[in-house]
């Protein structure tokens, strides 16, 4: 019996080393953007390490309280400026039919909680209305596993959203002023400081159903705003081929994980 216990203990350093090496290799593949399912492999390693080691390496956080079918992880790839929240079940992207069902977890709420990991170079945490969450359309993304980019709004976008927010109705979609030059956007306002019960994937798909039938063309953003001093959200959408839009929009034109000092 003592020998069995000794052997069991001796395996742990090897298991930990193997888990770390596997995670680092998966992150390296993601950093080079090859292959297009590298992100999914990272997620699988994080889930396995969470169960084996109690730590979701190489992910920064993992929420597996509802099991893998309902969970998500936070990944920050090396050499990239992205902070991303990824479901722990396979979902191809914004067009995945599962996201339109009542069973779909609230991935945007999970992504908003992950903003606590954003820190400026000076150590400052961003304000409510500095942060936004973005899902890229199929033709812009580099990975075929759904992921939500978490970052700080570029100054132009932040100013435009702050100015527009008071005029955007709660629960109704309207055309927004120019947030990024030469790109058309539509949006609606969430009149509370919680995303609980809010389904941005479904709301955007329904609002723009008469304009775009292929959900893979959608760009979706949830941004923190302040209206009359109250913390609220804007849900913002665009789509590839929208009138007066010159190109498909993605996270790189809207947010940066490197928050201002």
- Going residue by residue through the chain, which has 261 residues, state the pLDDT in tens, using 9 for 90 and above: 544 444 444 444 544 444 454 545 555 555 555 689 999 999 999 999 999 999 999 999 999 999 999 999 999 877 555 799 999 999 999 999 999 999 999 999 999 999 999 988 788 899 999 999 999 999 999 999 999 999 999 999 999 999 999 999 999 999 999 899 899 999 999 999 999 999 999 999 999 999 998 999 999 999 999 999 999 999 999 999 888 788 889 999 999 878 888
The CB-side HSE value for 151 (13 A sphere, CA atoms) comes to: 28
Token pair 């580099």 is at which residue?
A: 142
Map out the domains of the chain with their CATH numbers.
77-256 (3.30.428.30)
Q: What is the pTM of this model?
A: 0.87
Give the per-residue pLDDT at 34: 60
**SS3 assignment for the chain:** CHHHHHHHHHHHHHHHHHHHHHHHHHHHHHHCCCCCCHHHHHHHHHHHHHHHHCCCCCCCEEECCCCCCCCEEEECCCCCCCCEEEECCCCCCCCCHHHHCCCCCCHHHHHHHHHHHCCCCCCCCCCHHHEEEEECCCCCCCCCCCCEEEEEECHHHHHHHHHHHHHCCECCCEECCCCCCCCCCEEEEECCCCCCCCCHHHHHHHHCCCCCCCHHHEEEEEEEEEECCEEEEEEEEEECCCCCCCCCCCHHHCEECCCCC
Residue 32, pLDDT score? 54
Backbone angles phi, psi at 112, to 5 degrees: -65, -40
């Amino acid at each position: 019996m003592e020998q069995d216990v000794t052997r069991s203990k001796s395996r742990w350093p090897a298991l930990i080393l193997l888990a770390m090496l596997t995670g680092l290799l998966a992150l390296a593949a993601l950093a080079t953007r090859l292959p297009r399912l590298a992100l999914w492999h990272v997620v699988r390693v994080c889930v396995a390490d969470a169960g084996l080691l109690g730590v979701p390496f190489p992910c920064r956080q993992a929420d597996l309280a509802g099991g893998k079918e309902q969970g998500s992880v936070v990944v920050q790839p090396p050499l990239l400026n992205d902070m991303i929240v990824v479901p722990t079940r396979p979902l191809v992207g914004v067009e995945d039919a599962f996201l339109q069902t009542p069973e779909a977890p609230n991935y945007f709420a999970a992504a908003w909680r992950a903003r606590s990991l954003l820190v400026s170079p000076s150590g400052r945490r961003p304000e409510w209305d500095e942060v936004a969450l973005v899902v890229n359309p199929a033709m812009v993304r580099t990975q075929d596993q759904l992921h939500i980019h978490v970052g700080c709004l570029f100054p132009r976008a932040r100013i435009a959203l702050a100015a527009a927010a008071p005029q955007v109705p709660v629960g109704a979609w309207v055309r927004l002023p120019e947030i990024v030059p030469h790109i058309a956007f539509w949006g609606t306002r969430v009149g509370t400081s919680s995303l609980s019960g809010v389904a941005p994937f479904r709301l955007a798909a329904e609002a723009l159903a008469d304009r775009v039938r292929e959900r893979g063309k959608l760009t979706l953003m949830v941004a923190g705003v302040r209206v009359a001093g109250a913390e609220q959200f804007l849900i913002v959408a665009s789509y590839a081929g929208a009138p007066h839009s010159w190109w498909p929009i993605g996270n790189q034109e809207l947010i940066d994980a490197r928050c201002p000092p």
